[in-house]
Amino acid sequence: MRLPKRLREYIVKILVDFAFLLEGSRRYKRIKTFFRNLLENDEYPYKRYFDLFMIFLIITSVIIIIEEVTTPISKWLYYYDVYFVTGVFIIEYLLRMWVHDDIHKIIIEEFENALFLERQFDLAKVFKEIARRKWEYISSPLAIIDLLAILPSYRELRILRVFVLFRVFKLLRYSQNITHFFQVLTSKKSELFTLLILVAFTILVSGISLYVFEEQANPNINHLFDAFYWSLVTISTVGYGDITPQTHEGRIITMIIILSGVGLISFATSIIVSAFNERLEEMRDERILHSVRRSSNLYIICGYTSIAEILVAKLAREGKEFLIIDMDKKRVKELTRKGLRAICADASKKETFRSINFARVAAVLALTDSDMHNIYICLNIRSFSQEVFLISRTIDHNSYKKLKLAGANYLISPYITAGLFASKIIEQPIAIEAINDILNGKRNAMCDQVEVVRGSFLEGKRVGEIDFKAYKIVLLGVVRIDPGARLEGQRRRFYFNPEDDFLLQVEDVLVVVGYNISINNFKSMVIESSLGRKKR
Amino acid sequence: MAERNDKILLFGFGRYGEQIGLNLLSEGYNLVVADSSKEGLKKAIADKIEQVFVIDIYNDEEIADLILDHRISKVFCAFEDEERNVYLTITIKALFRNMEVIALCESKESERKLKLAGANKVIDTMYAAANRLYFILEKPAVAEAMDHILFKDPTIQFREVQVPPGSFLDGINLSQIDFKQEFNIILLGLVDKELGNRFIFVTRGINHKIDAGDILVVLGRRWDLERFEAKLKGGP
């Protein structure tokens, strides 16, 4: 079909102008994103409400249609079903088709290509592409279900009522678990297809032979269909017994297909079970990632090595939230059994962290026992977030610089720590033991930090004015943030055993030693005093 | 109370051994290094450690000779292989019952074994590192303070001071003396001979009477500590 040149140009101009108008419109984009989130984004908080609303509509409409089969229903219920529910379904269907892709982008792309290659704008190609994209949506199984679910509202054709079934299927869309079930089955598509062919073949062969042998002898077998029915009932090991073979030949066939039936059933079971086994871990990981998304102050621990194990035990005791990522399936299984959140994934891969919101992550720790792997992890994390606090374990001291370059904020090495402690433990064994006890909170004594909160009684006081003895704690020193420091490592300055006239400022942190109970008491007094002053 | 004339024998010059050796050296200890492989010792020589020996840890005589020849007073077992450390500890304890043995391990399991084998001190390296991580994450100010006190500022020191009989502290109650006001040092706690050799924190709140023979654990600047010790010994 050839359009007159003028008309053609006119259509192209309108199309392109319209496409650019949409592309440039912020409002259009906002609205489209909103609907896309509402319909397709599981992370979107309002999607849940929308899903619940749709489930309610489906259930009520199904009840109405079933009720209608036997008894006449009230006019209002009829209107509700035919106009409201169907209306919502149609709108939803159209909205889904709309958000499925952006057609204005196709037009713009073609326009730019045409401009670049100095050829004519190809209208046919654009329309074909648009039709193809939309068809992609229309032909998808869920869209077909949606479409068929609209049909039962057309009451004039009673047969369409059958499609009420599709309203039930439509429920699938709003339930995550069932969609997972279908995903699992589709992952085994080829195996299931093989199975289906095998079953069909067996039914065909055995059904035909039974028909041939028994059509005359058996009063229950009148058509080929009866033979196929019998064959399926037997092969599936259901065996109703309404049709039984009467001749010897028939019984021999029965024996053969009973044996092959057992094989086919176990084949089918094993396919489905193995599919679930494969996918189950993935699904579990997804669920864990989902649950983690809501927690703030999350620690992500990559590699469950012995150092991580101790740290995790400590964090778990304190009720902190963390996520362990390890490559070893067995280890992850063990951890989940203990009730810890662990997923089996490669922390140096991009997909692992794709769904993690790093704004809510307190720190990431790369604790695997390979420097190379830790460097990979650090680089990977930094590709997601520049700000998140990143700690890495180092093994070889040659890797120190490399890990720093890879973006690690802090490096920990058991070897260096051991070395530092070793000389001190010879020199001052009791002191080191005391410090260890304090740090580990053994015997209820501990070392803790208390921040000088704005408005608390600590603000603007001199150290000498605070009677630490009365609080039954010992002040070791004060950490002050030095904003002018050039290097990050030097930002915190520690003032050991400050003089009595040391003036405390807001954001200073007191490092104190004492018994658990006295420190907590002191902390709560600081907090209380800050609240009290604010009120006044 | 560091006695720098202590001679220390360090077994194993792997990753742990190297770090420990370098630290001990920088603190001025007299160090002897022994390893079963020449590779480790090459590194030791490169690190300027003078006395290095190849030793077969299954040969008791060799070990005994080494310890006797060099008049070793403390032994460090710093192999990366925990089993070796356990074996070595038990060997040394069998040869010299009173030798002080400090051993490294990487797990609770081995820590228990080393203690059973008779090690005087056990450093669980993984535990120490994990602990450090914990403080960096949860209590950064405490971590900073500990770093500063233990490693960064050499003028801040811990001292374990034994109270001599007849000194000004003998027979005094803890509440009667303000260590900060008088000496500018911090008293963390003490080991009381009367109450068994247990370390008691000063903030326990119990008014404790100091006796001669008690060991005070104090923390402060070197010069302040020296002033305190001098006073304790009956100086001005």
Q: Who's near A421: CB < 8 A, 6+ residues apart?
A: A432, B123, B128
pLDDT surpassing 50 at residue A536:
no
Asked if the domains at B7-128 and B156-232 fall in one CATH topology, the answer is: no
- The maximal CA–CA distance of chain B, rounded, in angstroms, is 59
Domain ranges of chain B: 7-128, 156-232
**Percentage of chain A with pLDDT > 90?**
11
Q: Which fold has domain B156-232?
A: Alpha-Beta Plaits (3.30.70)
pLDDT classification of A442: cutoffs 50, 70, 90: low
In the structure encoding, which two tokens stand for residue A62, read together? 């199904």
Q: Chain A contacts of B219, Cβ < 8 Å?
A: 431, 476, 497
Could you read off the pLDDT of B125-136 as tens digits, one per residue? 888 888 888 888
Could you give the CA distance from residue A474 to residue A497 in angstroms, rounded to a whole number? 10
Contact A504, A462 (CB under 8 A): yes
Closest A-chain CA to B73? A426
Q: How close, in Å, is residue B63 to chain A by CA atoms?
A: 21
Q: Is the pLDDT of residue A439 over 80?
A: no
Nearest to B123 among A306, A421, A437 (CB): A421
Please give the backbone phi and psi of residue B157, each rounded to the nearest 5 degrees, phi first.
Answer: -135, 155
Q: Indicate whether this model's pTM tops 0.80.
A: no
Cα A49 to Cα A39, A44, A56, B110: the distances in Å are 11, 10, 11, 55
Asked if residue B37 lies in contact with residue B44, where contact means CB atoms within 8 angstroms, the answer is: no
Span A199-216, average pLDDT: 91
Q: Which CATH number fits domain B7-128: 3.30.1280.10, 3.40.1110.10, 3.40.50.720, 3.30.300.30?
A: 3.40.50.720
pLDDT for the residue numbered A357: 82
Query: Does the distance separating the beta carbons of A420 and B150 come in below 8 Å?
Result: yes
Of B20, B141, B217, the CB nearest to A434: B217
- Chain A residue whose CA is closest to B191: A430
Across the range A261-277, mean pLDDT stands at 87
The minimum CA-CA distance between B74 and chain A, rounded to whole Å, is 9
Is residue A131 within 8 A of residue A123, CB to CB? The reply is no
Q: Which residues of A touch B125 (CB under 8 A)?
A: 414-415, 417-418
Q: Which residues of B touch A497 (CB under 8 A)?
A: 180, 184-186, 219-221
In this prediction, residue B2 carries a pLDDT of 43
Average pLDDT on A71-75 reads 82
Quick: pLDDT tens for A465-480: 888 878 888 888 888 8
Residue A535: what pLDDT? 45
On chain A, the residues whose CB falls within 8 A of the CB of B184 are 497
Lookup result for tokens 């989130």: A37
Summary mean pLDDT of chain B: 83
Q: Is the pLDDT of residue B171 over 90?
A: no
Nearest-CA distance from A86 to chain B in Å? Answer: 56
Which residue in the set A423, A429, A479 is minimally distant from B141, CB to CB?
A: A479
Determine the distance in angstroms separating the CA of B91 from the nearest CA of chain A, rounded to an integer.
21
- For residue range A33-68, what is the model confidence (pLDDT) as tens digits? 899 888 887 777 788 888 889 889 888 888 888 887
CB contact under 8 Å between B22 and A518, yes or no, is no
Does the structure show a pLDDT above 60 at B236? no
Structure confidence at residue B3 (pLDDT): 46
User: Is pLDDT of A197 > 90?
Assistant: yes
pLDDT of residue A227: 92
